[in-house]
């Protein structure tokens, strides 16, 4: 008698476990993710060819542009590293290099050295924001949760004693958001 009660108790226990497992799996089924929406936030091309932004000759930076990226409440934005383009020239005959610096909300997010023809001849170049360290990689790899506004700024500079100028600049920022 006792063994049949044990078998019955074990059978009921096993069925309750199976039923619990089934109901749990039904209750936590994932719903399909929301579709991604692609947006492009481009700054406008600034003015005629004659409009220049030039760095000071003391080696200091000059800000070329500032671009806001808005991620709405309840959304997540996956941002591709932006591309900055423009026509650059450097006043030097012997060292026509310059640096393009990317900032997000005031924090440095990478820099790239560019090369222009000597003696101030303009040359069109494009630079993608570099993935130069783990913090920057994680920023772009993780989704940015809204609501928030991210502010990209671009600065340029060159060696002391010369100036770098840029004209017809723009930034291309692409976002996939949920």
Q: Residue 119 — left, alpha, or beta (φ > 0 → left; ψ -120 to 50 → alpha)?
A: left
Query: Looking at the 3D structure of the chain, how many domains does it have?
Result: 2
- The enclosing H or E element of 36 equals none
- pLDDT of res. 5: 57
pLDDT of residue 29: 58
Kindly report the pTM of this predicted structure.
0.74
| Shared-domain flag, residues 113 and 169 | yes
95 and 60 housed in the same domain: yes
Can you give the CATH number for the domain in which 83 is found?
2.60.120
Nearest Cα to Cα of residue 37 among 146, 126, 131: 146
> Do 10 and 55 have their domain in common?
no
Do residues 129 and 98 lie in contact, with contact meaning Cβ atoms separated by under 8 Å? Answer: no
Of the two residues 178 and 106, the one the predictor is more confident about is: 106
Q: Is the same domain home to 3 and 65?
A: no
> Are residue 13 and residue 42 in the same domain, yes or no?
no
Shared domain check, 125 and 53: yes
Cβ(166)–Cβ(46) under 8 Å?
no
Question: Which tens digit of pLDDT belongs to each residue from 68-90?
Answer: 888 889 989 888 899 999 999 99
Give the three-state DSSP class for 54: strand
CA distance 149 to 142: 16
- Mean of all residue pLDDT scores within the chain: 81
Same domain, 85 and 160: yes
For residues 97 and 71, membership in a common domain is answered with yes
Residues 26 and 42 in one domain: no
Range of the domain at 118: 37-177
Over the stretch 27-70, which tens digit does the pLDDT of each residue have?
A: 555 666 666 676 656 555 554 455 789 999 999 999 998 888 88
Give, for 46, the enclosing helix (H) or strand (E): none
Q: What is the pLDDT of residue 40?
A: 59
Please indicate, yes or no, whether residues 138 and 99 belong to a single structural domain of this protein: yes
Local confidence band at 104 (pLDDT 50, 70, 90 cut-offs): very high
Q: Same domain, yes or no, for 98 and 10? A: no
The number of helices, as runs of H, and strands, as runs of E, in the chain is 2, 11
99 with 144, same domain: the answer is yes
Provide the Cα torsion 137, 140, 145, 149; round to 10°: 110
């Amino acid at each position: 008698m006792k063994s049949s009660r044990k078998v019955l108790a074990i059978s009921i226990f096993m069925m309750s476990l199976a039923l619990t497992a089934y109901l749990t799996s039904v209750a936590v089924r994932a719903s399909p993710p929301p579709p991604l929406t692609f947006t492009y936030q481009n700054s406008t091309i600034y003015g005629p060819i004659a409009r220049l932004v030039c760095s000071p000759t003391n080696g200091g930076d000059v800000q070329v542009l500032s671009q806001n990226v808005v991620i709405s409440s309840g959304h997540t934005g996956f941002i591709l590293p932006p591309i900055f383009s423009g026509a650059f020239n450097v006043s030097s005959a012997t060292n026509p290099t310059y640096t393009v610096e990317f900032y997000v909300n005031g924090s440095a997010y990478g820099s790239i050295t560019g090369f222009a023809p000597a003696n101030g001849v303009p040359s069109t170049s494009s630079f993608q924001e570099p993935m130069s360290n783990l913090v920057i990689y994680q920023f772009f790899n993780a989704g940015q949760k809204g609501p928030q506004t991210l502010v990209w700024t671009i600065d340029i500079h060159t060696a002391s004693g010369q100036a770098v100028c840029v004209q017809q600049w723009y930034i291309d920022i692409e976002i996939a958001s949920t």
